[in-house]
Amino acid sequence: MTRFDFAFTRAYRVAGAPFGVTPRTAWAAIDDDLLFVHFGPWRLRTSLDNIADATITGGFAFIKTAGPAHLSLADRGVTFATNGERAVCLEFHDPVTAIDPIGLLPHPNATLTPSDPEAFLAALGGDLPTAG
C-alpha cells in the first residue's frame, strides 16, 4: 500500500482542525485494487477500476473548500481540500459514498489534495489521463 499525506497550508490547517481534519487524519492510500481516502471523520473507499478519470486541478476559493469535507450542490461531488492550489479530481464510473455513511448522497467525483499529485496519479496506474 502506498500512502499519500495531504498538503496543508497554514490557513487550511487552522480551518480544518475544529472538524478533526489534521495532517494525522488526512491522507489517501492506494493498494493493488483499492483507493482509500481519510479526511478527519470522513472516509471514501472505492476500487481502482471505478476511477474513470483523474486530473490535476487547483485554484480553489478558500471559503468553498476549507474546513470539513464539502459537497458540491452543482454535481454532488465531494471535496477533501487542505490547500487551494493543487489537487487531484477523480471521476467515478459508479458514484461513491463519503459524506454520509448510508449512501443517500453518492458522489460522482472527488477532489483531494495529496502532497504530490503527480506521484498520486502514477500510483493509480492504468491509462488514466495525467494532464491538468
Three-class DSSP labels, the chain: CEEEEECCCHHHHHHHHHHCCCCCCEEEEECCCEEEEEECCEEEEEEHHHEEEEEEECCCCHHHHCCCCEECCCCCCEEECCCCCCEEEEEEEEEECCCCCCCCCCEEEEEECECCHHHHHHHHCCCCCCCC
Report the pLDDT value the prediction gives residue 63, as an integer from 0 to 100: 93
Q: Is residue 59 part of a domain?
A: yes
Alpha carbon 107 to its chain centroid, in Å, reads: 11
Q: Is residue 101 part of a domain?
A: yes
Q: Per residue in 4-18, pLDDT tens?
A: 999 999 999 999 999
Residues 130 and 38 sit within 8 Å (Cβ to Cβ):
no
Mean pLDDT of 91-119: 95
pTM for the model stands at: 0.92
Q: Is residue 120 part of a domain?
A: yes
Mean pLDDT of 114-128: 87
Q: Is residue 21 part of a domain?
A: yes
Q: Per residue in 37-55, pLDDT tens?
A: 999 999 999 999 999 999 9
Name residue, grid cell 464510473: 93
Q: 131 pLDDT exceeds 50?
A: no
Report the pLDDT value the prediction gives residue 100, as an integer from 0 to 100: 87
Report how many domains make up the chain: 1
Name residue, grid cell 454535481: 75
Report the pLDDT value the prediction gives residue 127, as an integer from 0 to 100: 52
Q: Is residue 132 part of a domain?
A: no
Q: Is residue 79 part of a domain?
A: yes
Q: Is residue 129 part of a domain?
A: no
Q: Is residue 40 part of a domain?
A: yes
Determine the length of the chain: 132
Mean pLDDT of 47-68: 96
Average pLDDT, the chain: 94
Rounded-to-integer distance, Cα 39 and Cα 26, Å: 4
Q: What range defines the domain where residue 62 resides?
A: 2-124
